[in-house]
Amino acid sequence: MTNLAGKTAYITGAGRGIGRAIALKLAADGANIVLNDLDVDPAAEVVAEIEALGGKAIAIPGSVTAPGFAEDFIGAGLDKFGGIDIIVNNAGYTWDSFIGKMTDAQFDAMIDVHLKAPFQILRAAAPFIKSQAAEEAAEGREVFRKVVNISSIAGTGGNAGQANYSSAKAGIVGLTKTMAKEWGRMKVNVNAVAFGMIATRLTEATDEKKSIDVDGNTVGVGIPKKLVAGMEAMIPMGRAGTVEEAAGGVYLFCIPESNYVSGQTLIVSGGLTI
């Protein structure tokens, strides 16, 4: 018997990297997956991977910051699978500058994707969670639901050049603690996972100038090789984490063993703190 059999998990930013690893991890443990990615093809590919393993999944592509996205995302999952058991707010990216050169658009973009979008998704899920929790309480049943918000050690300790990202990731910790208090009586565990350096396309060691397009904005990706080497030297475990290791941290907050853990931030960083 798998821990998550019959559960339904909603995961944003799940077409690549950490989000994809989370989707595959939860699906392998029995969960139905409602996944999102900004791009259609990567999202469809993850759905195909899950189905090839015998799991069930649907994709709701698009920007998590688009008007009405939260309601569409939650609504599609309820229409398909009929429930909400796990929400993982993972979608995001970085758009760095030192504060003297950072634009309002850069700052607002990070707040929108890392903080406002998770808030909107949880708000959209609230009516269903409240009604189900009331029914379960009336029947004398104890059913736990899980929310895992993705933060960063930039949010717990700050990081030069990331006033926007650090502010948003610190904010998600505050949202996590608040929702743990609001939803605790409804048996919802709300926690955060703060990642350190995880090997993804955003943190790839490269001296080439690389960029991606996000909502019409050109955003640089990759980190110079010398800088990556220096950062890895600071990590007690001596290397960046893998996306599978990152997903493992999220998984801990999704299983029954964490039913009495709420309002916490787990740092998954190989021992690095900043």
Q: Which residues are catalytic?
A: 165
How far is Cα of residue 20 from the mean position of the Cα atoms in its chain? 10
Write down the residue that tokens 């918000």 correspond to: 149
Non-local (6+) Cβ contacts of 104 within 8 A are none
Question: Buried b / exposed e across 98-135, counting CB within 10 Å, b at 16+?
Answer: eeeebeeebbebbbbbbbbbbbbbbebbbebbeebbee
Give which of 138, 126, 265 is closest to 183, Cα–Cα: 126
With 0-12 CB in 10 A as exposed, 13-18 as middle and 19+ as buried, what is 256? exposed
Helix (H, G, I), strand (E, B) or coil at 92: coil
CB 56 within 8 A of CB 32: yes
* CA 46 vs CA 56, 163, 225, 244: distances in Å: 11, 32, 30, 15
Computed over its alpha carbons, how large is the radius of gyration of the chain? 18
